[in-house]
């Protein structure tokens, strides 16, 4: 389909969606390309701006496009597969995919651990921990919001680090000599809330994946408890399983 068929039983916005999908499939529109405006699409296909908007909005919600305020609508990259086999951090994951990792530090502070965080970190509630709230991006596109709670003797030194330009995992391992050995991770489906939606540039109520990860250093000591929100339409989590026993 390359034009809108007026007599088709298919609604026009749906036909335009299929036309745009095809442009992505056949490589005419590549990840990162700016797509034509609603007005341009309307003129090109002889449909109203409202119809063009509906088609674009649905493809934004499906994750095929993303909007940047004041700039327009762009073609998204294919979904990011995060493997849950090896313990890796965001920077490593993005570099392995050939994408440029980015970070916006939303806040970084020392604060007392509340009950829930203390339990995960196996420390006493009220103990001072380093709390880091970050927006994570790949090639400038926002993907996730992460809140890391970090506890080790001397963790207040992290306040002085440039965490916009440095990987946390790398700093912990190379500068602080804290090897990251294992992690427990939970995944839960949910919806993007209003504050998150602003940072992630997706509509409120879009699909989200909530993850909680406890990372351990030597002697099984938790060092980080991170709770994150990933754009559900941009991520696939992958794991490989082996059967321990065959049924007899």
- Contact set with ligand 16G (CB under 6 A): 89-91, 146, 148, 167-170, 211, 213, 224, 226, 228
The first and second tokens of residue 89, run together, are: 């951090």
Minimum CB separation of residue 213 from ligand 16G in Å reads 4
DSSP state of 93: H
Minimum CB separation of residue 111 from ligand 16G in Å reads 17
- Residue among 56, 63, 64, 51 nearest 4 (CA): 51
State the CB neighbour count (10 A cutoff) for residue 196: 20
Q: Which is nearer to ligand 16G, 211 or 233 (CB)?
A: 211
Q: Which is nearer to ligand 16G, 15 or 228 (CB)?
A: 228
Count of all residues that appear for the chain in the document: 248
Q: Which is nearer to ligand 16G, 45 or 216 (CB)?
A: 216
Minimum CB separation of residue 126 from ligand 16G in Å reads 23
CB 103 within 8 A of CB 235: no
Q: Which is nearer to ligand 16G, 53 or 133 (CB)?
A: 133
Q: Given the DSSP bridges, would you call strands 101-112 and 128-138 parallel, antiparallel or unpaired? A: antiparallel
Q: Which is nearer to ligand 16G, 76 or 148 (CB)?
A: 148
**Residue with token string 């036909």:** 15
Minimum CB separation of residue 171 from ligand 16G in Å reads 8
Minimum CB separation of residue 206 from ligand 16G in Å reads 18
Minimum CB separation of residue 198 from ligand 16G in Å reads 20
CB 181 within 8 A of CB 216: yes
Q: Which is nearer to ligand 16G, 120 or 213 (CB)?
A: 213
State the CB neighbour count (10 A cutoff) for residue 188: 9
Between the CA atoms of 79, 166, 142 and 24, what dihedral angle is there, to the nearest 10 degrees? Answer: -40
């Amino acid at each position: 389909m390359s034009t809108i068929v007026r007599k088709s039983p298919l609604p026009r916005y749906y036909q335009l969606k299929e036309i745009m999908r095809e442009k992505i499939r056949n490589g005419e529109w590549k990840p990162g390309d700016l797509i034509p405006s609603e007005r341009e699409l309307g003129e090109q296909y002889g449909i109203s701006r409202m119809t063009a908007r509906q088609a674009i909005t649905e493809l934004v919600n499906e994750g095929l496009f993303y909007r940047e305020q004041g700039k327009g609508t762009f073609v998204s990259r294919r979904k990011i597969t995060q493997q849950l086999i090896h313990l890796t951090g965001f920077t490593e994951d993005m570099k392995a995919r050939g994408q440029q990792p980015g970070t916006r530090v939303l806040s970084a502070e020392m604060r007392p651990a509340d009950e829930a965080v203390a339990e995960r970190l196996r420390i006493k509630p009220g103990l001072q921990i380093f709390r880091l709230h970050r927006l994570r991006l790949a090639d400038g596109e926002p993907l996730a919001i992460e809140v890391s709670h970090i506890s080790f003797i001397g963790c207040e030194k992290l306040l002085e680090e440039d965490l916009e330009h440095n990987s946390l995992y790398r700093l912990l391992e190379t500068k602080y000599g804290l090897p990251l050995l294992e992690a427990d991770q939970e995944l839960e489906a949910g919806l993007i809330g209003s504050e998150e939606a602003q940072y992630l540039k997706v509509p409120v109520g879009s699909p989200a994946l909530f993850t909680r990860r406890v990372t351990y250093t030597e002697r099984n000591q938790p060092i980080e408890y991170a709770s994150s929100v990933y754009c559900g339409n941009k991520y696939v989590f992958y794991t490989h399983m082996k059967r321990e026993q065959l049924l007899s």
